[in-house]
């Protein structure tokens, strides 16, 4: 089966699963997921499944990427904070739909690979940071949207909630029990925080602390 055929099959599967936002589906279609997975998994890149990317991390299932992105209600005016760059795939999708993405990754080799890929794809509205994602990016706050791609314990990190701007939306998986995670959507409305549970998920744990000094990388032309 050709890449185009696999891509079409995936997009049809996402639609059947309830993803209806044409802009989100368009971003999924445009970003070459095969570039974001190891060579040994490239023949599975357009399957609707999570895949390992090394360092104990995974690239999320396309359905989860699409649902999380859709739940953020993005447009090209939004300033987005992403916690957990990983392979950079979700970052690339977000960059298609927002004004600028600020992405934090605690594992330096993953961040380095993601920077190279985004530069290769000429995606320039992204700034990356190597550091502790649970602390957010106070110097760039407030953010219109925040997306967390690793599970925190019990509730979303307060530091991230505090960096959400008025009218902002945050999507974050939280661990409710040893074997239970739920995706939560948090909104700041009239300076009040409102939270709703969305759907069950399974993410790697949110890593706190970093393996080195905080460093930033702005992807430029």
Residue 64 clears pLDDT 60, i.e. is over it:
yes
Cα–Cα separations (whole angstroms), residue 210 to 17, 99, 188, 207, 220: 36, 27, 28, 8, 25
Residue, of 201 and 185, whose pLDDT is higher: 185
**Does residue 60 carry a catalytic annotation?**
yes
Per-residue pLDDT tens over the stretch 119-169: 999 999 999 999 999 999 999 999 999 999 988 888 899 999 999 999 999
* Beta carbons within 8 Å of 177's beta carbon, 6+ residues apart: none
CA dihedral 173, 138, 24, 37 (to 10 degrees): -70
In this predicted structure, which of 23-32, 102-111, 121-130, 205-214 has the lowest mean pLDDT?
A: 205-214
* pLDDT of res. 211: 47
* pLDDT of res. 27: 97
* pLDDT of res. 215: 63
Q: How many Cα atoms within 13 Å fall on the side-chain side of residue 126?
A: 30
pLDDT band at 4 (very low <50, low <70, confident <90, very high): confident
Which backbone phi and psi does 168 adopt, to 5 degrees?
-80, 160
Which backbone phi and psi does 125 adopt, to 5 degrees?
-95, 45
Per-residue pLDDT tens over the stretch 195-205: 999 999 888 87
Residue 211, burial from CB neighbour count under 10 angstroms (0-12, 13-18, 19+): exposed
Residue 214's nearest CA partner among 150, 139, 151, 159 is: 139
Catalytic residue among 60, 98, 103, 152, which?
60
Q: How far apart are CA 89 and CA 99, in angstroms?
A: 17
Q: Mark residue 176 as left, alpha or beta (left: phi above 0; alpha: psi -120 to 50; beta: remaining).
A: alpha
CA dihedral 89, 170, 134, 98 (to 10 degrees): 40
pLDDT band at 179 (very low <50, low <70, confident <90, very high): confident
Q: Of all residues in the chain, what percent carry a pLDDT higher than 70?
A: 94
* pLDDT of res. 95: 98
CATH topology for the 50-61+74-218 domain: Rossmann fold (3.40.50)
What average pLDDT does this structure show over 56-63? Answer: 93
* pLDDT of res. 202: 87
In this predicted structure, which of 27-31, 52-56, 162-166 has the lowest mean pLDDT?
A: 52-56
pLDDT band at 2 (very low <50, low <70, confident <90, very high): confident
* pLDDT of res. 127: 97
Element (H, E) at 53: strand 51-54
């Amino acid at each position: 089966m050709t890449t185009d055929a696999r891509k079409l099959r995936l997009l049809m599967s996402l639609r059947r699963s309830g993803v209806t936002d044409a802009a989100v589906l368009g971003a999924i279609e445009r970003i070459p997921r095969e570039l974001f997975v190891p060579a040994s998994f490239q023949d599975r890149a357009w399957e609707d499944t999570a895949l390992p990317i090394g360092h104990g991390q995974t690239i999320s299932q396309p359905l989860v990427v699409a649902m999380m992105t859709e739940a953020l209600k993005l447009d090209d005016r939004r300033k987005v904070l992403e916690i957990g760059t990983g392979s950079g795939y979700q970052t690339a999708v977000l960059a298609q739909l927002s004004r600028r993405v600020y992405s934090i990754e605690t594992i330096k080799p993953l961040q380095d690979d993601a920077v190279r890929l985004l530069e290769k794809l000429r995606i320039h509205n992204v700034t990356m940071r190597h550091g502790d994602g649970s602390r957010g990016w106070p110097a760039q706050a407030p953010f219109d949207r925040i997306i967390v791609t690793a599970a925190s314990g019990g509730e979303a990190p307060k530091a991230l909630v505090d960096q959400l701007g008025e009218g902002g939306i945050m999507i974050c998986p939280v661990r409710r029990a040893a074997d239970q995670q739920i995706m939560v959507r948090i909104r700041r409305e009239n300076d009040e925080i409102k939270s709703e549970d969305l759907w069950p998920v399974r993410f790697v744990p949110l890593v706190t602390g970093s393996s080195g000094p905080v460093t930033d990388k702005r992807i430029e032309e």
